[in-house]
Amino acid sequence: MSKGLIHIYTGEGKGKTTSAIGLAVRACGHGWNVLMIQFMKGHSSKGEFQILKNIPNFEFVQTGLPSFIQKGSPTVEDIQLAQEGVLKAQKAVISGNYDLVILDEIHMAIDFGLVQLEEIINLIQNKSTDTELVLTGRNAPPELVKLSDYVSEILDIKHPYHHGKKNRRGIEY
């Protein structure tokens, strides 16, 4: 089986982005060119940002503000940044210059109204046949699930957050 399949990592559990990064590291280890676009995440202090920018053949782009977005009331800037990410993703998957493209938190960007579902369906339908595509985030739309080859749901069975514990540096960010 050649490259060009579509993956979804979704669910309420922790580890969707981490799974996508693991796949990216594996792909880079085989000399693939990888682009990861993070939607709704603009914190340059996140651990993954610090290390991934140093991996050969890996391009890492964040398309969000450092602040959280309130569902139902994104700012004009939130929408504009997300749209810039979509345009970069569209160019990347059509170009064939990347073997693997990851759209991290794209499902949430759709759910929060920053990106239109139709834009991502169009992106999938027009991507190079040699580009592997990974979509992550909670609430994967059924339409995207239907178009995908791999779908993994990560369950939230138990997490310290449920017991009042704060996010931990190096683990959650």
Show the CA angle centred on residue 115, arms to residues 10 and 97, nearest 5°: 80
**Between 161 and 8, whose confidence is greater?**
8
Strand arrangement, sheet containing 100-104: 58-63, 34-39, 100-104, 132-136, 6-10, 150-153
pLDDT at residue 135 above 80? yes
Q: What is the pLDDT of residue 67?
A: 78
Helix (H) or strand (E) holding 113: none
For residue 143, CA distances in Å to 10, 30, 114 come to: 14, 31, 17
CATH of 6-163, one of 3.30.230.10, 3.40.50.300, 2.60.40.1220, 3.40.640.10: 3.40.50.300
Q: What is the domain partition of the chain in residue ranges?
A: 6-163
Q: Which residues contact 163 (CB under 8 A, 6 or more apart)?
A: none
Which percentage of the chain shows pLDDT scores above 90?
71
Q: What is the mean pLDDT of the chain?
A: 91
pTM of the predicted model as reported, rounded to 2 decimal places: 0.91
Q: What is the pLDDT of residue 34?
A: 98
pLDDT at residue 97 above 90? yes
> What's the rounded mean pLDDT across residues 1-23?
92
